[in-house]
A and B are shown apart, each in its own frame.
Chain A
């Protein structure tokens, strides 16, 4: 590789700059970092941090609220409420094709933070088969990418792609869109 003095100087300056660039504290803290591929899922109420499997999620019923957990050092990502995930298990035959691609054995995962004002989405309306935010009554269709079925939410709940590894639910990729709400 050909170099000249200016290149060297610029590289050295780059090293200095890189060294000077602050690393966000949040990025250093896996607890607050967003879920990443390979993460396991554990119920928020489970003090044993047992990884969830599809059989742990009730079919067509109230969502299971979960945190992600790093696979190796088992750090539970509960350092930010924006990491709350809801899991619903559905008949795979009833899920839209695009949503099925994000699911694992009929289990779909979405952000539990409403896109309207940031309330926790965690209720299930069995008659309508929708997720329900009790704060401002938004409804989301879990079979169709959590699209807004009713209420003031401006956009779908971000989905968290899932896969199965050794029978356990595992995160397959980051949230499909920004978690949180406008304003």
Chain B
């Protein structure tokens, strides 16, 4: 602009401009050389009052959040996905209406819940974006976008949420960079390089904050990574510890790997945020399958793949583990962490862990300050790979006919490689004593293994799959409710004609909220009976978790709508298999907020 003004001036002034400009350019660093003259910054916009009054998120608030806040992705460290709010009930939910909607401006799968701190909402979207919004009005407060390198390796280009602590917002950027933002401005405070993205490490999880540390792990199990969890100082971003989910030779668990170099590319990705027990300082992380997919290329149990590992957040030490199935060959990443629920068994209270695993089993475990003990395992969808479980350890006896290998095809494997449930989290209601499971029933696979060579940053899978519908299948998507004290299923809602990728929310109003279906609806169920009490079709399919919060004494339900990634993949495969019964779901993200008028 200034140059254009000067061009209309005299030759002398232009000559002066040229020399001034040249001199200025030479003085600039190389990276800035050639940039047009900077426009003087105007005065900064005033910080909105709601952000001026921003209430820092203390450790105490994370441990005991007020009923009206949703401060972490599952609201509480135990992973329940439960809001005690009870203004919206089975009696009035039918009158729920949209209050505001906000377009995220990006496509692909929106897998993050809105977090709400004292009326300020923070939402992560695909594309390394975080949006701060006035949770009552829907007014934009700030927007952070971090450009993703053009050639970044991000096979699941999404974010499963942000974390809050102090006056910061933490987000795991896809290219494996941990970012701390100023909650009041959205400006970067610090960044930390977590891993080398070009070697296949990328991030899609929400960070976990506990005891002053910010913890993340990386995806990349299809790219020959060696999984890990790493902790950073929340204030400075300084690395604190790093613990691999695949041990190096000589480390505990290394005896479950062959003598070669398989451990270096052994997988064990960290896809999803851990749940945390403040009494024992242990975080319970779910780990991905071994890499490459065929277990005969890495003989042994392959600890700690397809497991839950208990890691001390202070030291990074692994205190215990439970491996759901050794030597995975089915792509059953056990991505979800177990939730922490104390339940009744045989007349005693078990300090429990409950995990709804991708391998098709519902696992009841017992936590402690150290080891994790097996209590019970029961299939919740068709499962024909495990012939039985060891009654003491839970170790499955695998049917060899259902285990693919290198150059070996295994037919009719149930559940499919997507699992009976994938990453979308379950919820638990302490009122009903039930967990709520988003399941996909009747889907099976044929898997054929193949040799594969490792090349950094490239696919390291070595398998092809063919999806099958179980004979006589009349539906795929389900919501299941199980009583944790009896270990019995209470109700099942089926979605004829739709898959289910819906994360679960339970509320004190006796409701369960979930999307997940290809009709783009958010559904509300009676938590006790499974009766559908309300549905609303949004712009796209809903796979992200819903959250509930209060502003000015009024309860709201918030959720992102934005179909994509694996839900899109399953939908497309089924559409081909059924010759058009599962049509494409419209994509494009939006944040929806509902309330009873």
Contacts and interface: CB of A to CB of B under 8 A. Distances in A.
A59 to B, nearest CB: 19
Interface string A85-128: 00000000000000000000000000000001111101101000
Interface of B is mostly: loop
Contact of A135 (B107, B155, B467, B564): B155
Given A81-B198, A152-B569, A183 B106 contact: yes
B264 interface: no
B534 to A, nearest CB: 30
B572 A152 contact: yes
A20 B34 contact: yes
B91 interface: no
Interface stretch (B247-255, B364-372, B455-463): B455-463
A182 B107 contact: yes
A1 interface: no
B25 interface: yes
A141 B593 CA distance: 43
Contacts of B35: 20, 22
A44 B155 contact: no
Contact of A134 (B107, B222, B467, B571): B222
B342 interface: no
Nearest to A15: B18
Interface stretch (A4-12, A46-54, A67-75, A167-175): A4-12
A118 B198 CA distance: 13
A182 B11 CA distance: 49
Contacts of B198: 81
Nearest to B575: A150
A16 B107 CA distance: 40
B154 A120 contact: no
Contact of B459 (A12, A120, A182): A120
Interface in A146-183: 150-152, 180-183
A137 interface: yes
B222 A80 contact: no
Contacts of B565: 117, 136
A2 B316 CA distance: 76
B33 A22 contact: yes
Nearest to A121: B459
A19 B152 CA distance: 31
B154 A150 contact: no
B34 A135 contact: no
A180 B206 CA distance: 25
8 contacts: A32-B151, A116-B569, A117-B154, A117-B155, A119-B222, A125-B464, A137-B569, A152-B569
Given A5-B11, A81-B198, A180-B151, 19 more contacts: A10-B7, A12-B18, A13-B3, A13-B7, A13-B14, A19-B34, A80-B150, A81-B457, A82-B151, A118-B153, A120-B458, A120-B459, A123-B450, A134-B463, A138-B569, A152-B571, A183-B106, A183-B126, A183-B564
Interface of A: 5, 9-10, 12-13, 16-17, 19-22, 32, 44, 80-82, 84, 116-120, 122-123, 125, 132, 134-138, 150-152, 180-183
Interface of B: 3, 7, 11, 14, 18, 21-22, 25, 33-36, 106-108, 126-127, 150-157, 198, 222, 450, 455, 457-459, 461-465, 467, 564-566, 568-569, 571-573, 576
